[in-house]
């Protein structure tokens, strides 16, 4: 099926997220392949918000391995408990980092990234199967609104 994006980015953040959720619902409907759905999700999010980096890491053999993303090249493997991504996996909850330089152990894939949010997502047994990572070149860019909607987005997977 052919899909075209039509997101009005002139509105507020919550309104953009609501459009993203609607588009995503249509995009993933009838498609069970996880990688295909993750790939389209980051394309949609990049189009909607033009973040510095947005992408997924997937749990494989006890570590996080880079999955579909939009943005500059990134580190490919992250250990359990390491960095923001490994910490979100370990704590099984969303982590918002207003300033990456204040987060002990932050993994700097790009020196341009200044703030970050990482949202874990879960398999059928409530185990973490991956994380959504979003980076911004601006300080203090993410808040509870982002957490709420990004958690709703990863609930599709």
Closer CB to ligand SME, residue 44 or residue 132?
Answer: 132
Query: CB of residue 115 vs ligand SME: minimum separation in angstroms?
Result: 10
107 is a contact residue toward ligand SME (CB under 6 A): yes
109 is a contact residue toward ligand SME (CB under 6 A): yes
**DSSP states along 62-128:** TEEEEEEEESS---SEEETT-HHHHHHHHHTS-EEES-GGGSTT---S-TT--EEEEEEEE-TTS-E
DSSP state of 4: -
Closer CB to ligand SME, residue 46 or residue 106?
Answer: 106
Binding region for ligand SME (CB under 6 A) out of 7-15, 22-30, 80-88, 142-150: 80-88
Q: Determine phi and psi for 80, rounding to 5 degrees.
A: -55, 130
83 is a contact residue toward ligand SME (CB under 6 A): yes
146 is a contact residue toward ligand SME (CB under 6 A): no
């Amino acid at each position: 099926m052919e899909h075209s994006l039509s997101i009005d980015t002139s509105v507020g953040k919550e309104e953009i997220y609501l459009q993203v959720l609607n588009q995503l619902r249509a995009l993933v409907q009838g498609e069970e392949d996880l990688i295909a759905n993750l790939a389209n999700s980051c394309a949609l999010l990049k189009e909607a918000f033009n973040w510095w980096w947005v992408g997924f890491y997937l749990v494989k053999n006890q570590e996080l391995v880079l999955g579909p993303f939009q943005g500059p090249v990134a580190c490919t493997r992250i250990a359990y408990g390491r960095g923001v991504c490994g910490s979100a996996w370990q704590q099984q909850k969303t982590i918002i980092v207003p300033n990456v330089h204040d987060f002990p152990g932050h993994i700097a894939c790009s020196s341009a990234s200044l703030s970050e949010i990482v949202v874990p997502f879960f398999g059928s047994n409530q185990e973490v199967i991956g994380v959504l990572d979003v980076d911004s070149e601006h300080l203090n860019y993410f808040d509870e609104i982002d957490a709420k909607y990004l958690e709703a987005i990863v609930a599709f997977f």
